[in-house]
């Protein structure tokens, strides 16, 4: 079994690395920074709403189990996971502030996400909370994969926004197995664990996309482009066309239902080779 030089061998996983980067985004471009136009920009901006509150939830759901983990390397991976998600939240808070400053209904939208997550934290037992994290981490990891592997998703975009999304996608890939490993160590791999993680994946996706779609439309409408059919078609092509970003990850989405699934069964660590180049690029921005 091969691995990186950090020697983290659990399921061929990688030890995540914290990269404390600051992107200093040009705020005036927030609504139309992506080379594929405003409608696709608003799709990615919609995803950004979920990160600060969502990643806090992920951190807490993993933290709930941290003290019980006996595997020292997994404990170290959890610490790195928490560090990475914390930094992602920080940068997306700044990103989302730019959205709010441009007149987008960010606070209203974000508050609904916060209320939902607060309710889950109160009502759901900790294994369900961890299953939600695993589900959304898988979704994030496959979205990250498609973003990193399909050049057209960020082609022609503002360099700073592009770098932020690449950085986030890269680290989501790097830590894609951590919550899952905690789940397997703590909840197990048996019929209960399988049923919990797969049923949660279905529910989490239904809830997530039924919030994303109206928010996306809401942002485009706020930009007075809701009736711009060409804009919608262009966005649709990026997501669902021949090399569409969402179309490409349908097999990975279904892979989550395979008994014995592990995020690193799809070993796409090659995307991490770009990390050093990206860090140098971002440091040169500042």
Applying CB under 5 A, which residues contact Fe ion?
Answer: 85, 88, 172
- Compute the least distance from the CB of residue 166 to Fe ion, in Å: 13
- Closest distance between Fe ion and the C-beta of residue 226, in Å? 30
| Rounded Cα–Cα distance for residues 24 and 137 (Å) | 26
In the complex, least distance from residue 106 CB atom to Fe ion, rounded to whole angstroms: 18
What dihedral angle (degrees, nearest 10) is formed by the CA atoms of 207, 47, 85, 21? 180
Neighbours of 44 (CB within 10 A): 20
Q: Give the separation between CA 88 and CA 55, rounded to whole angstroms.
A: 8
Task: Select 88 or 145, whichever has its Cβ closest to Fe ion.
Answer: 88
Cβ closer to Fe ion: 170 or 187?
A: 170
- Measure Cα distances from 95 to 24, 30, 148, 161, 285 in Å: 9, 8, 20, 9, 16
Considering beta carbons, is residue 36 or 133 the nearer one to Fe ion? 133
Residue nearest to Fe ion (CB): 88
Shortest separation between residue 164's beta carbon and Fe ion, angstroms: 11
Rounded Cα–Cα distance for residues 238 and 43 (Å): 11
CB of 54 to Fe ion, least distance (A): 8
Residues 8/14, Cβ–Cβ less than 8 Å: yes
- Our measurement of the distance from residue 77's CA atom to the centroid of its chain's CA atoms, rounded to an integer in Å, reads 17
Quick check: 168 and 100 in contact, CB under 8 A?
Answer: no
**Smaller CB separation from Fe ion, 54 or 244:** 54
Report the residue number, 99 or 178, with the smaller CB distance to Fe ion: 178
- Residue 34 CB, nearest distance to Fe ion (Å)? 19
Which residues 6+ apart lie within 8 Å of 109 measured at CB? 49, 215, 218
Q: Rank residues 38 and 44 by Cβ distance to Fe ion and give the closer one.
A: 44
């Amino acid at each position: 079994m091969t691995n990186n030089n950090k020697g983290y061998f659990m399921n061929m996983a990688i030890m995540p690395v914290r990269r404390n980067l600051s992107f200093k985004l040009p705020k005036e471009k927030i609504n139309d920074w992506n080379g594929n136009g405003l409608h696709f920009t608003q799709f990615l901006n919609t995803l950004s709403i979920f990160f600060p509150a969502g990643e806090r939830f992920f951190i807490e759901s993993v933290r709930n189990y941290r003290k019980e983990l006996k595997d020292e390397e997994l404990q170290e991976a959890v610490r790195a996971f928490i560090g990475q998600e914390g930094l992602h939240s920080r940068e997306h808070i700044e990103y989302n502030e730019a959205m709010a400053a441009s007149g987008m209904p960010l606070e209203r939208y974000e508050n609904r996400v916060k209320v939902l997550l607060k309710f889950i934290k109160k009502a759901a037992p900790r294994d369900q909370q961890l299953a939600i994290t695993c589900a959304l981490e898988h979704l994030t990891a496959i979205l990250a994969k498609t973003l990193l592997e399909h050049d057209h998703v960020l082609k022609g975009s503002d360099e700073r926004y592009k770098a932020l999304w690449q950085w986030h996608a890269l680290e989501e890939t790097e830590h894609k197995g951590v919550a899952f490993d905690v789940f397997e160590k703590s909840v197990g791999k048996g019929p209960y664990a399988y049923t919990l993680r797969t049923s949660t994946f279905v529910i989490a996706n239904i809830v997530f996309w039924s919030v994303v779609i109206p928010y996306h439309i809401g942002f485009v409408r706020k930009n007075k482009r809701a009736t711009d059919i060409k804009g919608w078609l262009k966005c649709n092509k990026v997501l669902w066309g021949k090399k569409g970003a969402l179309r490409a990850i349908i097999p990975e989405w279904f892979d989550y239902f395979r008994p014995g699934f592990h995020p690193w069964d799809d070993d796409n660590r090659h995307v991490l080779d770009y990390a050093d180049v990206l860090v140098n690029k971002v440091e040169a921005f500042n």
